[in-house]
Amino acid sequence: MEQKIKQYWEKFKIETNANKDLNYKKDFCFGYDERTYEELLKLVIEGTKKSTSFAFFQYEMDNEEEPKVEDYAIVTDSLRNHKCVIKTINVRYLKI
């Protein structure tokens, strides 16, 4: 599956005239189970879902780098099939 995602990314770069050295940060599903993966993916593709949130501590716990402006990611469905590319255009940190 990883190879298909990489091929999808290379095709995306060609179709959008992106810098050949541009990389995506990660591939993932929105949500917490198969049903929400599909529901949220549909909203992203329709253009209804345009933002998301995360718990900062989760990135630290998972030893992942937090999102940064200009990061790209590939959104997949519940079967890990690539469906679209998203770009981070704004990051805000809020204390709750």
Domain ranges in the chain?
2-87
How far is 79 from 37, CA to CA, in rounded Å? 10
What does pLDDT average to over the chain? Answer: 92
What's the rounded Cα separation, in Å, for the pair 19 and 29? 25
Looking up tokens 């599956």 gives 1
Q: What is the CA radius of gyration of the chain?
A: 14
- Per-residue pLDDT tens over the stretch 18-62: 999 999 999 999 999 999 999 999 999 999 999 988 888 888 898
Per CATH, the homologous superfamily of domain 2-87 is Sulfate adenylyltransferase (3.10.400.10)
User: Phi/psi class of residue 74: alpha, beta or left (left: φ > 0; alpha: ψ in -120 to 50)?
Assistant: beta
